[in-house]
Amino acid sequence: MAVTEALVRAQNAALAQIPLTDLRAAELPVELNQLAAAAEAVRSLLQFDAEPADFVRTLHALAVDE
C-alpha cells in the first residue's frame, strides 16, 4: 500500500494533529514511500527477531547517495 498525501492528511488529523503545510503534506508521502521501499529491500537480509540496530546498519550499508 503506497502512502498518499490524502493518507498523510487523514492520519495526521486522526492521530497527531500537527500543523502541516501543503508543501510538507506533499513531501511526506515521497519520503515515507522511500523508507518503506528501503525497509522492504532489506527485509530478506534480517531475521524477524534481529537486533533493531542491525536493521539500521543494514540500511546504511545499502544506502546509495543520489
Q: Cα(55)–Cα(51) distance, rounded to whole angstroms?
A: 7
**What's residue 59's pLDDT?**
74
**What's residue 33's pLDDT?**
96
**What's residue 56's pLDDT?**
76
Per DSSP, 54 falls in state H
Question: Residues 35, 37, 39, 43: what is their CA dihedral angle, to the nearest 10 degrees?
Answer: 180
Q: Cα(48)–Cα(63) distance, rounded to whole angstroms?
A: 21
pLDDT band for position 11 (50/70/90)? very high
Per DSSP, 48 falls in state T
Per-domain residue ranges of the chain: 5-62
Residue in 14, 23, 38 with CA at minimum distance from that of residue 5: 23
